[in-house]
């Protein structure tokens, strides 16, 4: 089948499945990213995320994840919403965790895309990934022209900002590729200036061990480090500060994915109710939510730390 024709059909199907943007790059070794990752790890910017040290070779070369891989299809899925928690004094949850766990939603869409490709061209070897395997999501999105990696280390799309989930389908099918775009951060330093814990230690470099998302989700210690007391800006799960201040997010549009709609009960909980959160209410609110990652005890730990 004509390479241009099947590439366009795949992109069209991706949009039909609800993805906001789709780009394609050649499956190859990420040379520049490998150097940067090695330096980042050597500087211990991954904190206690020991898994980041694993599978370095697979993380930087998709051909080790899918035999004879030729293309990386990268998709973006918008999760932006203007809806907010009603009590401004209540502990805060990052927007991305308002609805159903994005891993479940995007993986299902990637499976459907894979099935479509098989129906169109015959059997192909492919694997879908969504932030759950050694894949450098933002690097592939950048190479596919879906945006640039900004000074806050987030992927920024020129049309719609940075409130996106990223997924990939690594496939042994040669497709037309898209090229990268320019970096449009310019001289702006709003994300660096606004970071409550000074986690953006220099443009484009985030010390993960200082990031509120790391502290509230990845770090499993019984109590958070005292040095961050009073700096959390009331975030109990994740943090949106560097996105909230980014000028490019003035172009963010309301998502149209029903699965990402927030639980209204979650938005209505008061500070008092969060402080008194029971395991039963936690399980009810976050049954299929990314918040389950921190578990009940982890969320209670975070809420308690905010009150110190």
Residues designated catalytic = 131
Measured distance between the N- and C-terminal CA atoms of the chain, rounded to whole angstroms: 63
Distance CA 215, CA 236 (A): 9
Residue 255's nearest CA partner among 37, 19, 16, 7 is 19
Which token pair is 194? 């606004």
Distance CA 205, CA 184 (A): 17
Phi, psi of 155 (to 5 degrees): -75, 130
In sequence order, which residues have a C-beta less than 8 Å from that of residue 138 and are 6 or more positions away?
149, 153, 154, 155, 166
Instruction: State the residue for tokens 């700096």.
Output: 231
Distance CA 219, CA 212 (A): 10
What element of type H or E holds 280?
helix 279-285
Contact 19, 130 (CB under 8 A): no
Contact 183, 237 (CB under 8 A): no
Backbone region of residue 149 per phi and psi (left: phi > 0; alpha: psi in -120 to 50; beta: other values):
beta
The gap from C-alpha 84 to its chain's centroid, in whole angstroms, comes to: 19
CB count in 10 Å sphere of residue 110: 23
Contact 109, 20 (CB under 8 A): no
């Amino acid at each position: 089948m004509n390479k241009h024709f099947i590439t366009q059909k795949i992109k069209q199907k991706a949009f039909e499945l609800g993805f906001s943007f789709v780009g394609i790059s050649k499956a190859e070794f990420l040379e520049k990213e490998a150097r940067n990752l090695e330096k980042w790890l050597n500087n211990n910017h991954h904190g206690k995320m020991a898994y980041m040290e694993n599978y370095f070779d697979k993380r930087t070369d998709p051909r080790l994840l899918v035999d004879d891989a030729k293309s990386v299809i990268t998709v973006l899925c918008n999760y932006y919403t203007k809806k907010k928690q009603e009590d401004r004094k209540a502990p805060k949850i990052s927007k991305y965790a308002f609805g159903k766990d994005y891993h479940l939603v995007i993986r299902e869409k990637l499976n459907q895309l894979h099935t479509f490709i098989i129906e169109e061209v015959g059997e192909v070897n492919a694997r879908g990934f969504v932030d759950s395997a050694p894949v450098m999501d933002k690097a592939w999105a950048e190479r596919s022209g879906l945006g640039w990696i900004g000074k806050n280390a987030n992927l920024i799309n020129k049309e719609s900002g940075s409130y996106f989930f990223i997924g990939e389908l690594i496939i042994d099918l040669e497709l037309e590729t898209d090229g990268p775009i320019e970096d449009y951060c310019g001289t702006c330093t709003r994300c660096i200036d606004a970071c409550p814990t000074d986690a953006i230690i220099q443009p484009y470099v985030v010390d993960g061990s200082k990031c509120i998302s790391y502290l509230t989700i990845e770090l499993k210690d019984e109590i958070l480090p005292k040095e961050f007391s009073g700096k959390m800006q009331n975030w109990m799960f994740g943090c949106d500060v560097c996105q909230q201040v980014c000028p490019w997010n003035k172009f963010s549009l309301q998502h149209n994915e029903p699965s990402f709609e927030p639980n209204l009960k979650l938005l209505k909980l008061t500070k008092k109710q969060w402080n008194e959160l029971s395991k039963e209410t936690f399980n009810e609110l976050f049954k299929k939510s990314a918040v389950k990652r921190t578990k009940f005890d982890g969320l209670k730990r975070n809420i308690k730390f905010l009150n110190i």
